[in-house]
């Protein structure tokens, strides 16, 4: 039985190889003759290389166009404080473990005559905050609460060993 299967396989292989052995390549020869008869084309020159010019962004110290404008009297009041320093002794609030940009305001509510804002953290948790609460990693304190935004003042290092400055930021209501 095994010998017979080998014989059938050998016969099928010989038959398949015999089918490929024709000498009629006239269509292929005709195609190659047509391609060789055409005139040679012109090769386009290599395109010139334009050097990349880096863009120097010079507006890094300016207010973001997406932040709420700050009144001049608020800036004067903030600049008048020269003994700005974060309170390192106070206990940290829960929202201070997240970056400021990862927090979003999702709503407001009033309870017992007091206004609250609802803030979503990056993990999806919703937290109730009001004026005086802290959030963000840069000692941000909520100074104003409205129906559409939270005004926060952060205390950040000014680059010197013991210098601090206040930086106003806002969190706008999501979906506006």
- Domains of the chain are 72-172 (2.30.30.830)
Calculate ∠ Cα 86-90-96, nearest 5°.
Answer: 75
Q: Tell me what pLDDT residue 13 has.
A: 81
- The residues that bridge with 168 in the sheet, in sequence order, are 153
Share of the chain above pLDDT 70, in %: 84
In this predicted model, what pLDDT tens digit does every residue of 99-130 receive, in sequence order?
A: 999 999 999 999 888 999 999 999 999 999 99
pLDDT score of 105: 95
pLDDT, position 83 = 72
User: pLDDT value at position 130?
Assistant: 94
Using DSSP bridges, classify how beta strands 164-172 and 149-157 pair: parallel, antiparallel or unpaired: antiparallel
134 neighbors 100 (Cβ within 8 angstroms): no
Per the model's pLDDT, the better-predicted residue between 66 and 141 turns out to be 141
Place of tokens 């001049």: 72
pLDDT in tens, 146-173: 999 999 999 988 777 777 888 999 999 9
């Amino acid at each position: 039985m095994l010998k017979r299967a080998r014989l059938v396989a050998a016969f099928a292989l010989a038959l398949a190889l015999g089918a490929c052995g024709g000498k009629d390549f006239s269509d292929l020869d005709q195609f190659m003759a047509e391609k060789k008869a055409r005139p040679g084309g012109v090769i386009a020159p290599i395109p010139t290389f334009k050097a990349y010019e880096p863009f120097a962004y010079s507006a890094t110290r300016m207010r973001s166009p997406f932040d709420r404008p700050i009144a001049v009297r608020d800036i004067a009041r903030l600049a008048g404080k020269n003994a700005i320093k974060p309170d390192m002794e106070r206990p940290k609030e829960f929202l201070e473990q997240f970056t400021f940009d990862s927090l979003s305001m999702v709503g407001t509510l009033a309870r017992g005559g007091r206004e609250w804002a609802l803030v979503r953290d990056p993990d999806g948790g919703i937290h109730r905050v009001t004026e005086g609460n802290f959030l963000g990693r840069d000692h941000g304190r909520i100074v104003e609460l409205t129906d559409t935004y939270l005004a926060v003042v952060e205390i950040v290092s000014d680059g010197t060993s013991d210098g601090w400055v206040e930086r106003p930021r806002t969190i706008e209501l999501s979906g506006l």
